[in-house]
Structure 1
Amino acid sequence: MNDMSVFILEFFFSGSLFQGFKDHVLFSLSLPVTIDSLYKVTEGRQSDIFHRHAEGTFDPSCCFTIYHGNQMESLDLVTSNSEEARTWVTGLRYLMAGISDEDSLWMKQTFEEADKNGDGLLNIEEIYQLLHKLNVNLPRRKVKQMFQEADTDDQQGTLTFEEFTVFYKMMSLRRDLYLLLMCFSEKKDHLTAEELGNFLCMEQKMSNVTPEYCLDIINKFEVSEENKQNGVLGIEGFTNYMRSPVCDVFNPQHNEVNQDMDQPLCNYFIASSHNTYLTGDQLLSHSKTDMYAWVLQAGCRCVEVDCWDGPDGEPMVQHGYTLTSKITFKSVIETINKYAFVNNEFPVILSIENHCSIQQQKKIAQHLKEIFGDKLDVVEALNKDPKQLPSPNSLKGKLLIKGKRLPLYLSADAEEGEVSDDDSADEIEDDFKLKNSMSNGSSQQQVESHIRKKLDSLMKESQIGDKEDTDSFSIRALLRATHEGIQRNLRKNSKDGMKKSQSRSFISNLKHKVRIKTIFFCLSPSLSCFTNCLYFAVSLCRGGRRRKTIKLSRDLSDLVVLTNSVASQECLDEGSPYNVLSFSETRAQHPLHHRSERFLTFNQRQLSRIYPSAYRIDSSNFNPQTYWNVGCQLVALNYQTDGRMMQLNRAKFMVNGVSGYVLKPGPMCKGSFNPLNDDPLPANPKKQLVIKIISGQQLPKPPDSMLGDRGEIIDPFVEVEIIGLPVDCCKEQTRVVDDNGFNPVWEETLSFTLHMPEVALVRFLVWDHDPIGRDFVGQRTVAFSSLMPGMRNSICGCLFNYRYFWTCGPLNEIKRFQHVSNTIVYLICPLKMSISRYTCNLFFFRNCYFCFFLNQ
């Protein structure tokens, strides 16, 4: 590890600059905090820890927080004076900015790791070991030749860092880019400004390319001063240009709001979060106000707030009947107010899950009015056309409260009334409950420790993941009980045939997958805040549902104007445009599959919200595309859980500047069609996507693979998947190239037919084939409509080593990606007899690049 990486932690622990909270991570760190692991540095008392210690006497100007690592851990620090705090914040931000050149950083780290004896030089044996680590399988004769050509100083037989850089560039020379340069330069080793202009017009399909623009490219990307003076672009400068953000596959116009924002809210997909306050699973994780700040700045425009009665008359936000921690409602609202419109003016919807008494409901209303103020006033937008929802533009800077309203038949003088609670998104109230145990002798600490270990095991076994059948799941169960302070730890319901023995425990090792109806974890009586036991309705086997009602305060009801929550009961009848129907993913299955056309037309005039099933206790996510296909606007996901589904979600909302609002395709806003049909839009021309995967360079070994431990080179293949309407969903893959992670060649063509490309997402994945399966290497998901013509690149995220909070910029996920592959894409519209031809060069650098270029 280099000196800069260790620098921060040494100062934290050896200096006397900082005071810390004894219960916080600062005093429990066992590993250095590296500069490149820092996510952001914030000034003042903004973090969750500072909120929890609000009674402290720390001067806000002396406080700052460092967020770092894949799990976004925080270091909350206090200096002796404000000047020192400002110095540290400025210095840390400067150091963070200094690692933006990841190529140089990676090259330096690679050199230092290969330098086994630490003499600052690499000999030929160290080079051989490094190349094997980098998946390079070159003949030794070729390696020696390049080594000798790079070794130009007086110390023959070793490479300095500068010489190693030259050696690496020779080894990584892109033959395809070199041939492309030769094609446009009349077989010279450089491009003149005029020749570069021809390339930009013919291959990149750019218009209005001027000589001045070409010279700017040369001055910015060319590394040779001589070439700059002569106004030419060599192969290294050309490669730098092709890898730069200027040539990103993603349409740069889509980095800004580019769609019509004056249509009714129901005509937009709206980025939505489920249980926003949670940092992890649905049963044991922490609740943090920071989560609201992160998701709002990541473009989310609908957040959820679960409100429960708290001490001292102050409502709390938590996941009810679970072991998740609590935060005050007021702190949540203050955070939302601060971050809702930092980089995004479009309206934010607060989905209020109300479980409070009348008295604390009034407190909720009071906080909303006092903190949000005029941001709640939507009268002006409402008056423009009361028969339809207002537009995002007309609601800029506004906060919409989604919740229950008192019925119209109730007297205007009534201070409270009963309303239905059947549409509550908090299914866990029925399906997962913690109740007071009849057992005794167990301390709260013992019980909580046991439950956490047991639930971790169950969640790993359940593997809910992306399964389509979320009504039930099978698990490989090991049910055990002990007498060590917990009388009954895990017991099946008597309805399953097990005896309720209070005095004896049992061990049941089930070797086959079984369907479990209920599972109980008994809790200590000291957990008085919970109710009898932890109850899992693992399989959906309930009878009729009783109608649930709650008492609602007039004060809170009056704040709900445009987004009135109503019970769904699978009802898609026409109602007020201000009514919002909420479905769990399981309840939405019936209208989705049996009334899909009706569901789509309903979403043309009203809003619907889909949220994850309560059975996803691990905070996994369902496939949002399923519900986007029928026009559902508020498809709420667990933002804290990264993976395939959140990658689809990010790709969807990148289309319109990460504004949180994406305009639905025309046929979804007006007219009628069945998105589940084999030919949903027969009058529209179909498009065929033909992709030719040609080659790759320098793929990394998957970090979790056994291959890395055995030192073997990967066997890569590429998979391309289309996610859209059901008829369009498919995937194809190339053959496997054995034992070649440095320069695999595929030369294979993959074809796809698209009926509705406007909603399609294109997903590229690279896998390492293994005899017992496959290991994930990297992925990139892009909306079809955002692909740019020409030779393009795009930074690619990865499932491993991920962060679960995102900004609009590129992710710094993969530290050692160097892959190149060529692709040819054809778009064919048979009915119009028009053909476009895309040729794509697919890069994976450390962050994984995809490049496309278009020829007409």
Structure 2
Amino acid sequence: CMSVMQSGTQMIKLKRGTKGLVRLFYLDEHRTRLRWRPSRKSEKAKILIDSIYKVTEGRQSEIFHRQAEGNFDPSCCFTIYHGNHMESLDLITSNPEEARTWITGLKYLMAGIRQYMEYCEGKKDTKCFCMWVKQTFEEADKNGDGLLNIEEIHQLMHKLNVNLPRRKVRQMFQEADTDENQGTLTFEEFCVFYKMMSLRRDLYLLLLSYSDKKDHLTVEELAQFLKVEQKMNNVTTDYCLDIIRKFEVSEENKAKNVLGIEGFTSFMRSPACDIFNPLHHEVYQDMDQPLCNYYIASSHNTYLTGDQLLSQSKVDMYARVLQEGCRCVEVDCWDGPDGEPVVHHGYTLTSKIPFRDVVETINKHAFVKNEFPVILSIENHCSVQQQRKIAQYLKGIFQDKLDLSSIDPGETKQLPSPQSLKGKILVKGKKLPYHLGDDAEEGDVSDEDSADEIEARTMDGRLGRRRKTMKLCRELSDLVVYTNSVAAQDIVDDGTTGNVLSFSETRAHQVVQQKSEQFMIYNQKQLTRIYPSAYRIDSSNFNPLPYWNAGCQLVALNYQSEGRIMQLNRAKFKTNGNCGYVLKPQQIRDSLGTFNPFSGDPLPANPKKQLILKVISGQQLPKPPDSMFGDRGEIIDPFVEVEIIGLPVDCCKDQTRVVDDNGFNPVWEETLTFTVHMPEIALVRFLVWDHDPIGRDFVGQRTVTFSSLVPGYRHVYLEGLTEASIFVHITI
């Protein structure tokens, strides 16, 4: 099937509002991109395989549904969803066999790429590295003859940000060029050349310091290095022998049970020496505490792919965020045609999607990656008739996944735990007042639209027409057990365990500033949800730190908006197995008004921790992604900035000096020191910048929770950049 895909297949490409276009679709020679021709913009006529989210069979996409008049055989149709905004590429083959070939082939490639990318993010090994070198060689081979001449090597050096003297490059080229074909390098010779060029002086000196100046480590010397430098416990002879068997490339060294410089380099670039504690890739925290004791990964207006006014609404966004670890998703429900409720952002031009499709998608993807409970935050704007349809779909589709506990949350003293709710979906929404009694089929509840909708109405000049109450049907009310929505302008504690206070970021900021201790005490018993202001029409995100510091559990962010805030959110929830639940620090869970996160000395009785961070070197740092000249631009002048993000008293940053003209293997050898009052809540952010005379350009970043740092010599792999890393030594 790969050969068929690389040869190419004629398919019809459907586009919104136009007739289908016949194009030749084919897989490139590296099997990393799907391309098509003809195209007026040939450079844009491609999709990276690793950007593909999923491939669906048949006529399932929105564009296929709109092409109702098209008489297409469903077995010839399939859709490729790709990119951050879940764009769809809708294709029709001439026969079912071709469709099956492409669907199977793409899913095979996706599985391989995903596995490879996951490995590259935290699990570097020799195979992954060799794949990268092979791809680098093929991209440098401009004429496709399977050989690299000296000019192609010089061009590659520039692309890789290597600024070596041409004389030195030629010398290494000649040393590697050992076959009869003088003047060119085969792939095998290029590997030799690359090893010469990329010999890590820092790692070689480290090896020599533990090997009594030999070029290898014995089992005993390796064990000493692991105990002394990497602070590892229970290091056995068998463990050291396993490292040698796995990472050593020389058969002679393997036979002698020693680890040479190449094997040592591979080991140091492996998961065992990543900055992130490998034990934290699994759930390791106590999951039997009440829900209010956890930070819960939460999404705002989950269905949107872009801005808040004009962007598309897609059910696939629910699948995406759930599989990323999000455990609280939002569904804005409105009356739709033919008695069917729809989901969209009210008072805007965002597109509408059927409520039923949303529920089916959540049902399918809620527990694929983990079993901890999902909270469905329902914003109900429907008539009673369509509310009953909502309740019908929730019960009929979720079935026993729906948590309908018979316990009265008004009588219980604490919320259930994530562990006890595994595999359950909790509906967060309005609930009928208790005084109505169980016989009332419907009743009035406050129409406290969330503050972002109040702002939206104000912006649109319609606030005066706002209703004070709305009708709520019994069927929908009864689905709300532990998560009764209360839109709030202040902290209201009526003793009911199951209330969820909802604050806009604007009001929440005021509460945090004026009543931080009272707010924290409230959050020790009940849930609070904070969400972006409606004035963020570009779907930008607010800073979640003040609300996490105050103990707020559900800090809802726009997952579709990549940037600093989502990077912090990912780092926050990557620990504890990326399960979407992170246990709050004990001081935030249990303080009785004695802990103020915003004071100058929030924990006077607790010893502070010192982070001593030696930034040693960088490896294969690319040019900035937004570089004006792309690969043709100047070689970068990198520096590293380290930022501590946590309590206000802990927030600070420091940076190394600039290394001129070297993105391939810059060396800093600089020590940065930070004092942290509350490491349990702190994030450590590593940023690489390219210095230029008029400012700086962003190269890459990695953010890690302080509690997930491991001491010793560690590699910090930059998020989303294959092979790019910085090498550090950590002392805590």
TM-score higher than 0.5: yes
Match of 2:29 in 1: none
Match of 2:8 in 1: 11
Corresponding residue to 1:712 among 634, 646, 652: 634
Deviation at 1:264, TM superposition (A): 0.6
Corresponding residue to 2:560 among 635, 640, 648: 640
Deviation at 1:79, TM superposition (A): 6.2
Q: Residue 630 of structure 1 aligns to which amino acid in structure 2?
A: A
Segments of structure 2 that go 5 or more residues without pairing to the other structure are 24-35, 117-126
**Residue 330 of structure 2 corresponds to residue 304 of structure 1:** yes
**Residue 349 of structure 2 corresponds to residue 352 of structure 1:** no
Match of 1:582 in 2: 502
For residues 711 and 84 of structure 1, do their structure 2 counterparts lie closer, same or farther at Cα, with a shift above 3 Å needed? closer
Deviation at 1:405, TM superposition (A): 1.0
> What is the DSSP-based 3-state SS (H/G/I as helix, E as strand, rest coil) of the residue aligned with 1:777?
strand
Deviation at 1:35, TM superposition (A): 5.6
- For 2:191 and 2:653, the matched residues in 1 are separated by 39
**Residue 690 of structure 2 corresponds to residue 783 of structure 1:** no
- For 2:563 and 2:485, the matched residues in 1 are separated by 30
Match of 2:450 in 1: 425
> What is the DSSP-based 3-state SS (H/G/I as helix, E as strand, rest coil) of the residue aligned with 2:371?
coil
Corresponding residue to 1:109 among 135, 139, 155: 135
Q: Does structure 2 retain, via aligned residues, the 8 Å contact 1:26–1:75?
A: no
For residues 702 and 733 of structure 1, do their structure 2 counterparts lie closer, same or farther at Cα, with a shift above 3 Å needed? same
Match of 2:27 in 1: none
- For 1:580 and 1:22, the matched residues in 2 are separated by 41
- For 1:661 and 1:45, the matched residues in 2 are separated by 36
Segments of structure 1 that go 5 or more residues without pairing to the other structure are 434-517, 519-534, 798-812, 828-856
Corresponding residue to 2:171 among 106, 121, 145: 145
Match of 2:693 in 1: 771
Q: Does structure 1 retain, via aligned residues, the 8 Å contact 2:711–2:729?
A: no
For residues 25 and 141 of structure 1, do their structure 2 counterparts lie closer, same or farther at Cα, with a shift above 3 Å needed? farther
Q: Does structure 1 retain, via aligned residues, the 8 Å contact 2:299–2:559?
A: yes
Correspondences of 1:518-557 after superposition (within 5 Å): 535=460, 548-557=468-477
Corresponding residue to 1:656 among 576, 589, 597: 576
**Residue 666 of structure 2 corresponds to residue 744 of structure 1:** yes
**Residue 604 of structure 2 corresponds to residue 682 of structure 1:** yes
Deviations along 1:45-75, one digit per CA (max 9) or x if unpaired, are 5954388469799887776543334544333
Match of 1:735 in 2: 657
For residues 199 and 657 of structure 1, do their structure 2 counterparts lie closer, same or farther at Cα, with a shift above 3 Å needed? same
Of residues 110-119 and 162-171 in structure 1, the stretch that sits farther from structure 2 once superposed is 110-119
Deviations along 1:289-336, one digit per CA (max 9) or x if unpaired, are 111111111111110000000000000000111111110001101111
Match of 1:524 in 2: none
- For 2:509 and 2:540, the matched residues in 1 are separated by 18
Match of 1:814 in 2: 721
For residues 754 and 820 of structure 1, do their structure 2 counterparts lie closer, same or farther at Cα, with a shift above 3 Å needed? closer
Deviations along 1:771-790, one digit per CA (max 9) or x if unpaired, are 22210001000000011223
For residues 122 and 546 of structure 1, do their structure 2 counterparts lie closer, same or farther at Cα, with a shift above 3 Å needed? closer
Q: Residue 413 of structure 2 aligns to which amino acid in structure 1?
A: K
Correspondences of 1:323-472 after superposition (within 5 Å): 323-379=349-405, 386-422=412-448, 424-425=449-450, 427-428=452-453, 430-431=455-456
Q: Does structure 1 retain, via aligned residues, the 8 Å contact 2:488–2:502?
A: yes
Match of 2:121 in 1: none
Corresponding residue to 1:189 among 210, 215, 218: 215
Match of 1:92 in 2: 106
Q: Residue 497 of structure 2 aligns to which amino acid in structure 1?
A: P
- For 2:54 and 2:497, the matched residues in 1 are separated by 43
Q: Residue 562 of structure 2 aligns to which amino acid in structure 1?
A: D
- For 2:465 and 2:670, the matched residues in 1 are separated by 55
Deviation at 1:546, TM superposition (A): 7.6
Deviation at 1:85, TM superposition (A): 5.1
Q: Residue 739 of structure 1 aligns to which amino acid in structure 2?
A: D
> What is the DSSP-based 3-state SS (H/G/I as helix, E as strand, rest coil) of the residue aligned with 1:736?
coil
> What is the DSSP-based 3-state SS (H/G/I as helix, E as strand, rest coil) of the residue aligned with 2:673?
strand
Share of identical aligned residues, percent?
Answer: 69
Match of 2:119 in 1: none
Q: Residue 120 of structure 1 aligns to which amino acid in structure 2?
A: G
- For 2:548 and 2:91, the matched residues in 1 are separated by 44
- For 2:510 and 2:269, the matched residues in 1 are separated by 47
Match of 2:88 in 1: 74
- For 2:19 and 2:265, the matched residues in 1 are separated by 43
Q: Residue 791 of structure 1 aligns to which amino acid in structure 2?
A: Y
**Residue 206 of structure 2 corresponds to residue 180 of structure 1:** yes
> What is the DSSP-based 3-state SS (H/G/I as helix, E as strand, rest coil) of the residue aligned with 1:636?
strand
Deviation at 1:688, TM superposition (A): 1.9
For residues 563 and 777 of structure 1, do their structure 2 counterparts lie closer, same or farther at Cα, with a shift above 3 Å needed? same
- For 2:461 and 2:191, the matched residues in 1 are separated by 58
- For 2:635 and 2:245, the matched residues in 1 are separated by 39
> What is the DSSP-based 3-state SS (H/G/I as helix, E as strand, rest coil) of the residue aligned with 1:427?
helix
- For 1:582 and 1:676, the matched residues in 2 are separated by 22
Deviation at 1:217, TM superposition (A): 2.1
Match of 2:30 in 1: none
Q: Does structure 1 retain, via aligned residues, the 8 Å contact 2:86–2:305?
A: no
Deviation at 1:218, TM superposition (A): 2.1
- For 1:707 and 1:19, the matched residues in 2 are separated by 33
- For 1:397 and 1:362, the matched residues in 2 are separated by 24
Aligned residues: CA RMSD: 3.1
Q: Residue 108 of structure 1 aligns to which amino acid in structure 2?
A: K
Deviation at 1:83, TM superposition (A): 6.5
Q: Does structure 2 retain, via aligned residues, the 8 Å contact 1:37–1:69?
A: no
- For 2:229 and 2:559, the matched residues in 1 are separated by 39
> What is the DSSP-based 3-state SS (H/G/I as helix, E as strand, rest coil) of the residue aligned with 2:577?
coil
Q: Does structure 1 retain, via aligned residues, the 8 Å contact 2:616–2:726?
A: no
User: With structure 2 as the length reference, what TM-score do the two structures score?
Assistant: 0.88
Q: Residue 82 of structure 2 aligns to which amino acid in structure 1?
A: H
Deviations along 1:12-47, one digit per CA (max 9) or x if unpaired, are 4x26xx896876998496445456444344454595
Q: Does structure 1 retain, via aligned residues, the 8 Å contact 2:713–2:729?
A: no
- For 2:571 and 2:147, the matched residues in 1 are separated by 44
For residues 375 and 768 of structure 1, do their structure 2 counterparts lie closer, same or farther at Cα, with a shift above 3 Å needed? same
Of residues 43-52 and 273-282 in structure 1, the stretch that sits farther from structure 2 once superposed is 43-52
Q: Does structure 2 retain, via aligned residues, the 8 Å contact 1:375–1:398?
A: yes
- For 2:266 and 2:408, the matched residues in 1 are separated by 52
Q: Does structure 2 retain, via aligned residues, the 8 Å contact 1:8–1:34?
A: no
> What is the DSSP-based 3-state SS (H/G/I as helix, E as strand, rest coil) of the residue aligned with 2:376?
strand
Match of 2:269 in 1: 243
For residues 54 and 220 of structure 1, do their structure 2 counterparts lie closer, same or farther at Cα, with a shift above 3 Å needed? farther
- For 2:19 and 2:451, the matched residues in 1 are separated by 32
Deviation at 1:414, TM superposition (A): 2.6
- For 1:62 and 1:223, the matched residues in 2 are separated by 48
Correspondences of 1:131-142 after superposition (within 5 Å): 131-142=157-168
> What is the DSSP-based 3-state SS (H/G/I as helix, E as strand, rest coil) of the residue aligned with 1:393?
coil
Deviations along 1:653-701, one digit per CA (max 9) or x if unpaired, are 1111111111100011112311110011111111122223233343211
Deviations along 1:111-158, one digit per CA (max 9) or x if unpaired, are 233333433322223222221222212122222221111111112222
Deviations along 1:502-523, one digit per CA (max 9) or x if unpaired, are xxxxxxxxxxxxxxxx7xxxxx
Q: Does structure 1 retain, via aligned residues, the 8 Å contact 2:344–2:350?
A: yes
